[in-house]
Structure 1
Amino acid sequence: MNIHSHPVLLYRWVVFLLAAGYCLHQLILGSWGGAGGPFRYLTIWALFLSFYAASRMLALSEHRITRKHEVTAMCAAALNVMVVFLYWRLYLADPSLVNGGNPIIWWLEYYLHALGPLLQIIDALFIGAVFRKVWRAALPMVVIIAAYVAWSELFVQRFNDKPTGTVTSGLPYPFLNSMEWAERSTFYGANAAIALGLLVVFGVVGAVLYRVRRPQAAA
């Protein structure tokens, strides 16, 4: 696919402007009632990574840069899918596990946990075709997750007293506060493995998709 074509430019502008708008919303109207503000949540990390990836994809289409930023796009896509998977798995089991029983803002939640990630994945998988040599994104993906865990455990928990649980308090997601450190570390490790597994899945899907497209392009 020609990444400089008008349809791709239009698509990437839409993705970029949506991500930019939701980032601004978080910066201005986000949940700043506790230390760390909206950045307490992995969803917001994924949002800002999506915004950065969208800005790079748009700049590439507009000939403003030459670097493809494939690792950035791969990490954004995998992190978004991990966030979506975790959110809906917990939300469907019990909404209070992720939002403490507070009502959701539908246009915010469905963008953050559905539409936004979908737009990012469509670009990365079908337009940018970035899922080649996915091993390059493995270390950055682990670093992002490790940084978020350290942020949550060493800063967010220390300087917040809500939500509360049976074991601790202050961790951003209510259910984490009812888990011992050993349980939390297992949970974090399992989700890091999920993120790496998603890179593998995207790599396999990409390998098949791009192999099919190559003969068509040659024809």
Structure 2
Amino acid sequence: MTLYRTIVFLLAAFYWLELFRHIDPAAFGWQFRFLTIWTLTANLIVAGQMLRLSLGRTTARWESFVSLVVVMNMAVLVQYWRLYFLDPANVTTGDGPVWWKEYYLHLGGAVLMWIDAFFLLGVFSRLRPVFVAVLVLGVVYPLWLELFVHPLNDAPVGTVTAGLPYPFLNDLELGGRLMFYAFVTAANIVFVFVGWGVARAVDAIRQR
């Protein structure tokens, strides 16, 4: 368990630092414009705490926070690939993503985090704080985009506006963007139930 958590932590730290080597100093919000980086940062925090737990440096399990991060990873994976397969230009610009970053940020990192959450730690025993956190995230991240990132950046440029980090958002009027944010939050509520179901299934298998 300690070896696994060490590998997960080192991978999360490597990718977090690697992304910040290529910051555009002219872009307000740096990498934190992207929900993917919010999630990577949360994964790094969770990985660090789980490693400390294995090493006996803490007894705090952070179960509710870890449950939220499980949902964040589900949101990033599902929404990113859904939009990507509709049209890669929805979520990528320029020459497109680098494959070894792409598959960690939008697949591998999530899977590694879920293995720990469901099979080692155990999550979703308390749903209320997870629902509250999902709703807070569903308000805070859109406000961050619309009130700060959008007006303080001029790229990428879409058919309607500019400055929002994901290209497809710049092709939507404000009403369309609000509908998208609401849809994602509703999907995240569904993901809470999905996570709860997986956690209960894993518990049932363990008890056999």
Q: TM-score normalised by the shorter chain: which range applies? A: over 0.9
Deviation at 1:58, TM superposition (A): 1.0
Which residue of structure 1 aligns with residue 123 of structure 2? Answer: 130
Paired residue for 1:4? none
Equivalent residue for 2:67?
Answer: 74
Q: Using the alignment, how far apart are the partners of 1:179 and 1:38 within structure 2?
A: 22
Q: Distance in 2 between matches of 1:210 and 1:134?
A: 16
Distance 1:106 1:99 in 2: 12
Deviations 1:60-115 (A, max 9, x none): 11111111101121111110111011111111111111013432111111110011
Gapped regions of structure 1 (runs ≥ 5): 1-7
Kindly report structure 1 stretches of 4+ aligned residues shifted beyond 4 Å.
none
Which SS does the other structure have where 2:91 is aligned? helix
Hey, what does 1:87 align to over in structure 2? 80
Taking structure 1 as the reference length, the TM-score comes to 0.90
2:139 and 2:166 mapped to 1: Cα distance? 17
Taking only the aligned residue pairs, the percentage that are identical comes to 40
Confirm or deny that 1:111 pairs with 2:104: yes
For residue 42 of structure 1, the aligned residue among 10, 16, 35 is: 35
TM-score in terms of structure 2 length: 0.94
State the Cα deviation string for residues 25-50 of structure 1 (Å, max 9, x = none): 12222444411111111100100011
For structure 2, list consecutive stretches of 5 or more residues without a partner in the other structure: none
Q: Where in structure 2 are the equivalents of 1:98-177 lying within 5 Å?
A: 98-177=91-170
Structure 1 residue identity aligned to 2:104? Y
Give the match's secondary structure for 1:99. coil
Q: Which of 26, 45, 59 is matched with 1:52 structurally?
A: 45
Matched, 1:181 2:164: no
Structure 1 counterpart of 2:189, which letter? L
The residue that corresponds to 2:200 in the other structure is: 207
Contact 1:165–1:174 (CA under 8 A) maintained in structure 2: yes
Name the structure 1 match of 2:185. Answer: 192
Find the aligned partners of 2:25 and 2:65 in 1 and give their Cα distance: 27
Q: Deviations over 1:158-212 (max 9, x none)?
A: 1111111222111111111111111111110110111111111110121132133
Count of residues paired in the alignment: 208
The answer to whether the 8 Å contact 2:64/2:129 transfers is yes
CA RMSD of aligned residues (A): 1.4
Matched residues in 1 for 2:138 and 2:47: separation? 20
Cα distance in 2 for partners of 1:208, 1:24 equals 35
